[in-house]
Amino acid sequence: MKKLLLLFALIVQNTMNAQTYYDADNNKIDKTTFDKLLAGKEYYHVENDSLKAFKLMYRNNRGERGSLGDTKNLFKELNEKLNLKLDSSKPLIIYYYPGKDACNSGGKYSVRREYLKSDKQLSKKVKAIAEVNVLRVYKNKEGLTTINDHDWKKDPNGLIENLFFNYHHGCESFVIINKDKYSAFFGEYPHDEVTKALKEILEK
């Protein structure tokens, strides 16, 4: 009986400690293949700590587009959980902060004045294109230098993370939602990526 219990405990421990690896197209691969692909210049990797999962990402293609179906329910849930008044008839830009990392611990992200200056410039560019809803969401606010300058909201029950950002991408990410479509960009981004994504999703 004791041997059976020990065997069960070892199986559970092994399962809990198991790490899974995926290629850039979400196909499960072994660690050897993962490391071999990562050694090249085409990919970088991201992690999901809670799931102990590692995924390859294309360096030159960090965007994702898709359909959400009925986004009115998403707007309703965000409004209710975060006490907001988001207008579902307008595009929604969500800026997502995953928590402190090597990327957002330096440069403009670590200097509040520079961070705010960049935010102001981006806001002006966005307003020149369309009137939008803006939502700033964080998973963990550690290291978030503008936490008291913007109306940052804690991601409600990991809603935004689970929908768009299953892995930790360095610095910040964003997603734009318009009608039933979305356009996400993973990791640090220049202003042009936001404005380009907004223009493209408005044309659909």
> CATH no. for residue 181?
3.40.30.10
State the pLDDT at residue 117: 92
Kindly state whether residues 133 and 165 are assigned to the same domain: yes
State the pLDDT at residue 17: 55
Structure tokens, 176: 């734009």
Cβ–Cβ contacts within 10 Å for residue 44, how many?
15
CA 170 vs. chain centroid, Å, equals: 9
Q: What is the pLDDT of residues 127-181, one digit of tens each?
A: 999 999 999 999 999 999 999 999 999 999 999 999 999 888 889 999 999 999 9
State the pLDDT at residue 5: 40
Give the pairing type, strands 53-58 and 20-22: parallel
Kindly state whether residues 86 and 162 are assigned to the same domain: yes
State the pLDDT at residue 57: 76
Cβ–Cβ contacts within 10 Å for residue 27, how many?
10
Domain count along the chain: 2
State the pLDDT at residue 40: 83
Kindly state whether residues 86 and 11 are assigned to the same domain: no
Kindly state whether residues 44 and 73 are assigned to the same domain: no
Kindly state whether residues 109 and 40 are assigned to the same domain: no
Kindly state whether residues 19 and 74 are assigned to the same domain: no
Residues of the chain with pLDDT under 70: 1-17, 50-51, 108-109
Give the domain-ending residue among 10, 35, 58. Answer: 58
Tell me which residue range forms the domain holding 116.
Answer: 63-203
CA 192 vs. chain centroid, Å, equals: 18
Collapsing DSSP states into helix, strand and coil, what is residue 192?
helix
At 94, phi and psi to the nearest 5?
Answer: -110, 120
> In sequence order, what are the residues at sequence separation of 6 or more whose Cβ sits closer than 8 angstroms to the Cβ of residue 183?
63, 64, 65, 175, 176, 197, 200, 201
Kindly state whether residues 132 and 165 are assigned to the same domain: yes
Kindly state whether residues 51 and 68 are assigned to the same domain: no
Kindly state whether residues 120 and 182 are assigned to the same domain: yes
Kindly state whether residues 74 and 46 are assigned to the same domain: no
